[in-house]
Structure 1
Amino acid sequence: MTKTSTRLARDRRGTAMIETALLLPLFLMLLLGILIYGQYFLLAHSVQQAANDGARAAITGLDAADRRAVAIRAIDRSMHGVGGYRRELRSVLVSENAQAVTVDLAYHVPEGNLLRSTLVPTPGDIIRATATFELPAE
């Protein structure tokens, strides 16, 4: 080994910069993944809670059409606080039998939302939730 190569091999001044260049992208991807999945879980919880609220409210309706209207109003009230919520992005199915009312809610994640980024794989652009409540005995 020459004197210059020995000196360069012992020089540690650039190691921090190289380590940062190697690890910073991984750290940023991890941080972005935490943010995206945190937002996903928050939105999924909000959609489930809205479906619960819709089903709970629907049991007060007089007939199937009234139950659907009441459920949709309750869902919209519940989702109103969710950032970027728009009514046209949700679809609601209210079904019932003699014992219970079931509300199925599907919410399409809006364009421009962090969940739509392609940097980190996400569970999907549609979040679905179902809630069932028993009808009061007559």
Structure 2
Amino acid sequence: MALAHDRRGAAVVELALALPVLLTLLFGILTGGTWLAMSHAVQQSANEAGRAALAGLTQGERATLATNAARTTLAQTYGVAASAVTVTVQDDGQRLTVTTRYDGTANPLLSLPIVPAQSKTIERRATMLLTGL
């Protein structure tokens, strides 16, 4: 009967049961927060690219300005390599749409195998009106 009331080792057993759940929750919070932060940063880079492109006089110049602005914004904000960012500019003379795509497969917090995450590729758009320029 003495073993039935022995509490030695109970904390270790409880920790062994609770730790996987707590770690999964912690890494889920880190992954979700990182994804939200990167999603916001990619949207902001598309917005900045659209604003920068308004200074261009030709479609080619606007595309160059937009691409440089989007990549610079992400590099300065999160240290994202230019190779992980794809910028597409659609310019029909009336509207300028900048699409910024970030490939997060190299980001360790977006690639944790134990946490199901959103897409590792984040794509955001910004549209600017060119009329009246």
CA contact (8 A) 2:45 2:74 kept: yes
Mapped to 2, the partners of 1:97 and 1:137 lie a distance apart of: 14
TM-score by length of 1: 0.87
TM-score by length of 2: 0.90
Count, aligned residues: 133
Q: 2:122 aligns with which of 123, 127, 136?
A: 127
Alignment partner, residue 59 of structure 1 = 54
Asked if 1:14 is matched to 2:9, the reply is yes
Alignment partner, residue 43 of structure 1 = 38
Asked if 1:78 is matched to 2:73, the reply is yes
Residues 105 and 112 of structure 1: is their aligned pair in 2 closer, same or farther, counting only changes over 3 Å? closer
Mapped to 2, the partners of 1:72 and 1:112 lie a distance apart of: 22
Q: Please report the RMSD computed on the Cα atoms of aligned residues, expressed in angstroms.
A: 1.6
Alignment partner, residue 22 of structure 2 = 27
Paired AA for residue 34 in structure 2 = Q
Residues 98 and 83 of structure 1: is their aligned pair in 2 closer, same or farther, counting only changes over 3 Å? closer
The superposition leaves residues 16-47 of structure 1 with CA deviations (integer Å, 9 ceiling, x where unpaired) of 22111100111011111111111111111111
**1:15 Cα shift?**
1.9
CA contact (8 A) 1:94 1:104 kept: yes
Q: For 1:101, what is the secondary structure of its paired residue?
A: strand
Larger radius of gyration: 1
Paired AA for residue 48 in structure 1 = Q
Residues 113 and 82 of structure 1: is their aligned pair in 2 closer, same or farther, counting only changes over 3 Å? farther
Structure 1: runs of 5+ lacking an equivalent: 1-5
Structure 2: runs of 5+ lacking an equivalent: none
Q: 1:102 aligns with which of 94, 97, 105?
A: 97
Give the share of equivalent positions with the same residue, in percent: 36
